[in-house]
């Protein structure tokens, strides 16, 4: 029975689904009985209420997503769903937030709102280049010192990396079968002349050679060299979200193969990776925000790097713990399947990123 103090609904039936109303909220779809927006504050509450309410579904979703691996997936599979944001909506929201935080440049993307600045003088350009070089050297020194400390304490084990070959300019490559970076399709853009050259076409598969002809590659190289690869980078960023969406069902099939006796449907394995990728976007967003905050308040570079490295190490730990919680198998069996899943995920990620780059190349 509705409370006698509750205001009378504007209409006897729900305007959304038509169910007879017995209070301020519809018992079928949950919509509020009031049909008109009475104030601007009510409109703002509808837009940002979940952001500022501590007990909202937003925070009840993000906190366990970040600190309790696999909990959202397990709760969803066991029927505890209304308290959380829908999985795919959460994935889309977090992916959009990440790309906005990481790659949105107001002066570039909203250039119409800014007055054009006069070009810097040669002296200013030289001073800026010297300042950038000094900052880069200082940052590299602090990073190397921090990593050396981790190596000395036995926290990480790294191998020596050969010095990169100096080719000059902007260099990027497309290769699916050579992790050392030799072979494959390689572009070299000289930043001073804008000249672009390419090599390695003979290393490409036949099906790719028929599509990326010499004439098309020359056109691509000319367009890439015109803006030093900025257009290509933007197109690649646009293709990455699609590539990750393509990757999720592939990895769900791998999970289904790893857990044939779990009696879970394909979509339940897919849900696992929707939540994992949501976490991945969330942790990357937090890393970007922390890096910006650390630079703003002048936190020492070593502390910033160690924090970001620790957060990066948390990602594989998170995946292992999520597998343990959702599939409830022992450490040894889970570790074995984790190695297989990690290997296939690395290969799948590389192939989908390669596809994203190829689509970006032919779209330039």
Model pLDDT for residues 257-278, shown as the tens digit of each residue:
999 988 889 999 999 999 999 9
For 160: left if phi > 0, alpha if psi spans -120 to 50, otherwise beta; the answer is beta
Instruction: With CA atoms as reference, report the closest residue to 282 among 135, 40, 90.
Output: 90
Unique residue bearing structure tokens 């646009």: 238
| 197 and 279, same domain (yes or no) | yes
Q: How far apart are CA 135 and CA 141, in angstroms?
A: 10
| 30 and 177, same domain (yes or no) | no
Q: Is residue 151 part of a domain?
A: no
Tell me, what's the pLDDT at 1? 43
| 203 and 350, same domain (yes or no) | yes
N residues, the chain:
364
| 30 and 94, same domain (yes or no) | no
Q: Is residue 11 part of a domain?
A: yes
Q: How far apart are CA 31 and CA 293, in angstroms?
A: 40
Q: Is residue 263 part of a domain?
A: yes
| Range of the structural domain that residue 92 is part of | 87-112+169-364
| 244 and 326, same domain (yes or no) | yes
| 32 and 173, same domain (yes or no) | no
Number of domains in the chain: 2
Write down the pTM of the prediction.
0.67
Q: Is residue 325 part of a domain?
A: yes
| 102 and 15, same domain (yes or no) | no
| 294 and 361, same domain (yes or no) | yes
Tell me, what's the pLDDT at 165? 37
Q: Is residue 125 part of a domain?
A: no
Q: How far apart are CA 150 and CA 183, in angstroms?
A: 34
Q: Is residue 134 part of a domain?
A: no
| 29 and 92, same domain (yes or no) | no
Q: Is residue 103 part of a domain?
A: yes
% helix, strand, coil for the chain, step of 5: 65, 5, 30
Tell me, what's the pLDDT at 167? 37
Residue ranges of the chain whose pLDDT lies below 50: 1-7, 158-171, 174-183
């Amino acid at each position: 029975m509705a409370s006698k103090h509750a205001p009378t609904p504007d209409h006897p039936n729900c305007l959304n689904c038509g169910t007879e109303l017995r209070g301020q909220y519809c018992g079928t779809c949950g919509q509020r009985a009031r049909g008109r927006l009475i104030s601007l504050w009510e409109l703002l509450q509808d837009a940002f209420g979940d952001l500022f309410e501590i007990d909202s579904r937003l925070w009840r979703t993000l906190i366990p997503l970040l600190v309790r691996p696999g909990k959202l997936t397990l709760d969803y599979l066991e029927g505890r769903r209304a308290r959380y944001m829908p999985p795919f909506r959460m994935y889309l929201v977090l992916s959009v937030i990440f790309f906005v935080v990481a790659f949105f440049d107001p002066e570039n993307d909203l250039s119409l709102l800014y007055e054009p600045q006069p070009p810097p003088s040669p002296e200013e350009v030289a001073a800026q280049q010297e300042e950038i070089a000094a900052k880069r050297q200082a940052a590299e020194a602090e990073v190397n010192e921090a990593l050396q400390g981790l190596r000395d304490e036995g926290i990480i084990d790294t191998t020596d990396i050969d010095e990169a070959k100096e080719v000059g300019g902007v260099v990027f490559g497309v290769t699916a079968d050579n992790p050392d970076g030799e072979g494959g399709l390689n572009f070299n853009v000289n930043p001073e002349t804008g000249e672009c050259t390419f090599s390695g076409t003979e290393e490409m598969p036949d099906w790719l050679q028929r599509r990326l002809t010499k004439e098309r590659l020359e056109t691509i190289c000319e367009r890439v060299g015109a803006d030093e690869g900025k257009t290509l980078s933007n197109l690649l960023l646009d293709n990455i979200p699609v590539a990750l969406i393509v990757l999720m069902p592939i990895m769900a099939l791998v999970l289904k193969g790893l857990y044939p006796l779990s009696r879970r449907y394909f979509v339940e394995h897919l849900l696992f990776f929707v939540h994992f990728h949501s976490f991945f976007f969330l942790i990357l967003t937090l890393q970007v925000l922390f890096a910006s905050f650390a630079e703003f308040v002048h936190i020492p570079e070593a502390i910033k790097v160690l924090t970001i490295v620790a957060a990066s190490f948390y990602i594989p730990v998170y995946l292992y713990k999520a597998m343990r919680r959702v599939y409830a198998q022992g450490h040894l069996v889970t570790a074995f399947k984790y190695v297989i899943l990690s290997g296939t995920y690395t290969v799948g990620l590389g192939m989908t990123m390669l596809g994203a780059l190829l689509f970006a190349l032919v779209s330039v």
